[in-house]
Amino acid sequence: MWQHLSFLKRKLFWIILVIIGLAVGGIFYQRNKNAQPQYSTESVTRQTLVQTVSATGTVKAAEEVSLNFETTGRLIEVRVSVGDKVSVGQRLASLDTRDSASAILTAEANLKSAQAALDKLQAGAKIEDVAIYEAAVTTAETTLANTKSSQTQAVANALATWLGLPATAIANAGNLSTATITVTGTYQGTEQGSYTIRVDDTASPTFSYFGLETAVNKTGSRATSVALGARGLNIQFSSTGSLFAGDSWTIVIPNPNSSSYSTYAAAYESALKTQTQQVEAAERALAEAKLKLDQIKSPARSYDILAAEAAVESAQAALIRAQTDLSDKTIIAPVAGTITKVNNQVGETTSIAQPVLVLLAAGNNEIKVQVPESDIAKLKTGQLADITLDAFGSADHFSGHISFIDPASTVIQDVVYYEVTVLFDANDERIKPGMTANVDVTTAELKDVLVIPLRAVKYNEKREAYVELLQGVEVVTKSVQVGLRGDDGLVELVSGLEDGDIVITFKQNGK
């Protein structure tokens, strides 16, 4: 009895628990069902965008600084010898720079050309330019008219030559007459076809003809020729031979029995083909001239301007690369000190693996930091560095610069790093070897540019960048072009949005 009651109590407990669970789940489902998507947004702003490479290292006593070119080449100048004292910024050695100088001239010319094209596009067509294209259209129209006229005449001439072959009258089958018909003159018509001549009365004789032209009861002659129609042909019945009424002869135009028939027929077909080709070419030239005139009269389209601006930016980048390549072929003393090694002579080809010069720094301490491969391309020797030391806190800043970038890599926990040496610009007695140093190198800075959070930028399957805009309660997708990736998760907005636009950085979907 008690066992049965205990079982009923346990069963009732689980039933109540299930009912409560279903009720809670239903409430949760209903709330989520009606929930709306929640968005995190940021505004497009205009500000200064800074790109910084940061690394942490340890202060070391100044050692020898290995100096090398960023690229290999033929050494044409070494201005120092072992033991020479050098100052900061002094030119020490150079590679052959003729190719680099030529590349700079080419890049400058390309930049001027791209800028001129952009300026011309933005300014629109000049009156003089429009006049030139209008004259081109007029010339093309005249050429088309002349081509049609000359080619029409050429076809007519070829046809006249073909149709004007000497004609002959061929007796038709069944004729009883032994007399013949002589055809003289030149056919002046423009139609192909034939004449059929029929004897109606043998006395005169009287004949009729039909085909290319038609006439009846024409009086012929067996002594002189008479006109066959009005297209230049004459016929004469022979003075001998019999004539029977009803007999007929056929004159085919052009004469297929002429030895020149095939030659002149081919010439006529060639003239027709040439006419078609020449007229079509003139029509295409006219259409192209009109299109160019319309294009130069039309205002510049936004995407044409964007393309021209991109061409200018590309040319600017090419010039910077050429200038960088030129500067990479010169070794400048990063610090004051003493030359301890000269490893190459003028005329030799340098190597990335071996420094050209070795310099003992004059007393300043240095910092060795490891920079990941994702950032190393942003750094180059001579760049300024802002340094803080843990021993003094973040309030005290020291200046320095990059003196050397090791071309050899090191793998640390499956990540590729490169060792970078940073020298202090001044000798400060407070700085001791072994101190932890934090190095910040500003690698790029853009002023007064539009920026958005990098997390707002998405990419489609074609790797084209786009963002989602929040316009009221509507979400709109818009293509953008991004540029420099800066600090604090910001990225330069080259085109696509305007200052103040609201971009979505995170979306939590409702149910």
pLDDT of res. 35 = 53
| Segment 377-394, tens digit of pLDDT | 889 988 999 999 999 998
pLDDT for 23 equals 60
Mean pLDDT of the chain: 87
CB count in 10 Å sphere of residue 183: 20
* Tokens, residue 103: 């590349």
Q: How many Å from the N-terminal Cα to the C-terminal Cα in the chain?
A: 50
Q: If you average pLDDT over residues 108-112, what whole number do you get?
A: 93
| Model confidence band, residue 93 (pLDDT cutoffs 50, 70, 90) | very high
Percent of the chain whose pLDDT exceeds 70? 91
Q: How many helices and strands (H and E) does the chain possess?
A: 6, 28
- The predicted model gives 102-125 an average pLDDT of 86
The per-residue DSSP string of 195-207 comes to EEEEEEETTTTEE
Q: Is 10 exposed, middle or buried (0-12, 13-18, 19+ CB in 10 A)?
A: exposed
Q: Which of 331, 319, 323 is nearest to 76 (CA)?
A: 331
Inform me whether the pLDDT recorded for 5 exceeds 50. no
User: What residue has token string 């279903």?
Assistant: 22
Query: What's the average model confidence in pLDDT over 72-95?
Result: 91
pTM to 2 decimal places = 0.40
- In whole angstroms, what is the distance from residue 236 CA to residue 180 CA? 8
In sequence order, the 6+-apart residues with CB closer than 8 A to the CB of 329 are: 69, 70, 71, 73, 94, 95, 96, 97, 100
Residue 314 has pLDDT above 80, yes or no: yes
- Among residues 423, 414, 425, the alpha carbon closest in space to that of 369 is found at 423
